């Protein structure tokens, strides 16, 4: 098992042969072959809709393939149920989190553990010590006694990963694990993954960010339109060739941020302090101004006051102390698309209407003007390239990228003054992420095109440092509820990244 040497000596730990899966007329997987070996970190990349998630579903027993063979360590297996995948030694970390919100971290992990005591008592002590050991070993630290619903999305993902690692799978499958981590944490996390691989496991992961793929993966398999277009060692690739493989054409280098000409003041926060969901001070004495025509970036790891700052800026909550001046309409792109931005069971028109119930154009007294809302939704879908056949489909039926395009378009309809965006490109592929970023930059510079119209201001609150660096005119870091300004001459990945990560024993707290 250990150090068996050359790949050729042992069969691949995961081998997929000619996997085909069709959903009605749509072919999601069109004869996919994949080989992954123990001891390697293998990245599965491709655009949204390329078939990555379906392929992961096949591997984790959630999606049944129509045709094809799956071999684990050389032996053919049938993965009809998630339990079959577990039995075969495949551990899946889902993109959509699967924790029980009302239980503690410890209880959530213990739920998945088979106990010797006839299932009557969960072995909490045992789970706690192993969880501590795993946390130390992997650097994924989390308080075992906190109730999950009080954790941020990023913290929940750490728990999700720990929960799967707890079962000690031989093949670890991760769907976009880095999207909520700070740069330093990503580095650490990658070394965790490499450590897990070097112990003889296979680490299969879906990644979107090209530099992350190149940094962590030993081998890369690129999917496009349900087929494997390339599979090879990552050393032979660079970011340009990888991007071309993923989207089938060269990506235009993005335009550098044009210097902004900030206009009138839009937002003023003075001495703002607010409590978080646990009653703790989540924001402490925050001062911030935002002007028309500028993008203000707030970098930071989720759970440091991001949620509270965003809700206050969006006008959805009031602070405990301090004064807030906001324009009368504010567009808001929340972090949780299907939880906060959209009602999954509403159709697209209803989801657009949700943000516009106060807008006089779409009301007639107490009535909503559904006709206008429907045509506005159709226009919005055209304008922002929302890929759906009609506005009558439900929000949950769209891919993440299309959901986000709908949200961005809707929030632009809501306000031409101020747009607050939290992690606006999380979970999106390169092209969709590019689209959203371009949209944000374009609107903040829109005075160039539209005469007389003052451009709106934009605040991007994100745990994705690259996104903040790329988009922002001014940068802040939000750490432990304090907003720290980043000087113009220190806008480097290293400096801002170091500011983002709060170290234990910080004397200032």
The residue (of 13 and 377) whose beta carbon lies closer to another protein is: 377
Nearer to another protein, 245 or 314 (CB): 314
Looking up tokens 């239980």, which residue turns up?
103
User: What is the smallest separation between the CB atom of 370 and another protein, expressed in angstroms?
Assistant: 7
C-alpha to C-alpha distance for 22 and 44, rounded to whole angstroms: 20
C-beta of 190: minimal distance to another protein in Å? 27
Question: Which residues, in sequence order, are bridge partners of residue 394?
Answer: 347
CA atoms within 13 A on the CB side of 46: 23
Query: Least distance to another protein from the beta carbon of 350, Å?
Result: 7
The CB-of-372 to another protein minimum distance in angstroms stands at 13
Token readout for 85 is 């995948």
In whole angstroms, the minimum distance from the beta carbon of 42 to another protein comes to 21
- Interaction site with another protein (CB under 8 A): 23-26, 28, 48-49, 51, 53-54, 57, 62-64, 225, 311, 314-316, 332, 334, 336, 339-346, 350, 353-355, 357-358, 363, 366-368, 370, 387-389, 393-394, 396-399, 401-402
Of 191 and 390, CB closest to another protein: 390
H, E, C per residue of 473-507: CEEEEEECCEEEECCHHHCCHHHHHHHHCCCCCCC
Least separation in angstroms between CB 479 and another protein: 24
Helix (H) or strand (E) holding 68: strand 67-72
Nearer to another protein, 175 or 185 (CB): 175
* Cβ proximity of 43 and 221 under 8 Å: yes
Nearer of residues 25 and 256 to another protein, judged by Cβ:
25
Closest to another protein by CB, 393 or 484: 393
Question: What distance in Å separates the CA atoms of residue 33 and residue 20, rounded to the nearest whole number?
Answer: 10
The sign of the dihedral angle between the CA atoms of 75, 79, 83, 85 is positive
CB of 71 to another protein, least distance (A): 22
Q: Are 219 and 42 in contact (CB under 8 A)?
A: yes
CA–CA separation, 348 and 378 (whole Å)? 9
Give the span between the Cα atoms of 88 and 77, in whole angstroms.
8
Whichever of 68 and 387 has its CB closer to another protein, that residue is 387
């Amino acid at each position: 098992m250990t150090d068996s040497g050359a790949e050729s000596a042992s069969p691949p730990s995961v081998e997929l042969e000619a996997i085909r899966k069709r959903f009605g007329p749509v072919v999601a997987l069109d004869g996919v072959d994949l080989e992954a070996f123990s001891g390697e970190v293998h990245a599965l990349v491709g655009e949204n809709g390329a078939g990555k998630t379906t392929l992961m579903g096949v591997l984790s027993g959630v999606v049944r393939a129509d045709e094809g063979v799956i071999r684990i360590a050389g032996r053919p297996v049938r993965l009809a149920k998630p339990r079959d995948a577990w039995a075969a030694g495949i551990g899946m970390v889902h993109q959509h989190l699967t924790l029980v919100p009302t239980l503690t971290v410890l209880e959530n992990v213990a739920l998945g553990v088979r106990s010797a005591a006839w299932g009557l008592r969960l072995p909490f002590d045992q789970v706690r010590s192993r969880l501590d050991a795993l946390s130390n070993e992997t650097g994924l630290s989390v308080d075992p006694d906190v109730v999950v619903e009080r954790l941020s999305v990023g913290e929940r993902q750490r728990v999700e990963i720990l929960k799967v690692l707890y079962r000690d799978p031989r093949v670890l499958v991760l769907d976009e694990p880095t999207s909520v981590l700070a740069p330093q944490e990503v580095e650490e996390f990658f070394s965790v993954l490499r450590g897990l691989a070097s112990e003889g496991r296979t680490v299969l992961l879906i990644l979107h960010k090209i530099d992350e793929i190149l940094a962590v993966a030993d081998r890369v398999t690129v999917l496009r339109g349900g087929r494997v277009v390339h599979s090879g060692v990552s050393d032979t690739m660079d970011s340009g060739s990888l991007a071309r493989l993923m989207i089938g054409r060269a990506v235009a280098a993005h335009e550098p941020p044009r210097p902004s000409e900030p206009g009138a003041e839009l937002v003023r926060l003075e001495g703002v302090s607010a409590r978080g969901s646990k009653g703790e001070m989540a924001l402490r004495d925050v001062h911030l101004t935002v002007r028309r025509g500028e993008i203000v970036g707030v970098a930071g790891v989720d759970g440091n006051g991001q949620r509270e700052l965003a809700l206050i800026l969006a006008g959805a909550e009031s602070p405990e102390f301090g004064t807030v001046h906001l324009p009368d309409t504010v567009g808001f792109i929340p972090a949780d698309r299907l939880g906060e931005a959209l009602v999954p069971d509403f159709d697209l028109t209803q989801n657009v209407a949700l943000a516009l119930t106060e807008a006089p154009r779409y009301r007639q007294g107490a009535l909503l003007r559904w006709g206008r809302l429907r045509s506005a939704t159709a226009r919005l879908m055209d304008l922002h390239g929302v890929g759906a056949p009609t506005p009558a489909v439900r929000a949950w039926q769209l891919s993440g990228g299309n959901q986000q395009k709908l949200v961005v378009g809707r929030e632009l309809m809501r306000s031409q003054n101020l747009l607050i965006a939290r992690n606006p490109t999380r979970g999106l592929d390169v092209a969709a992420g590019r689209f959203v970023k371009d949209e944000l930059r374009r609107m903040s510079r829109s005075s160039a095109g539209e005469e007389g119209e003052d451009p709106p201001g934009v605040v991007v609150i994100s745990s994705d440092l690259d996104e903040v660096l790329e988009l922002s005119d001014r940068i802040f870091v939000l750490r432990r509820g304090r907003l720290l300004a980043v000087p113009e001459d220190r806008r480097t990945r290293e400096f801002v990244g170091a500011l983002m990560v709060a170290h234990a024993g910080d004397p200032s707290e």
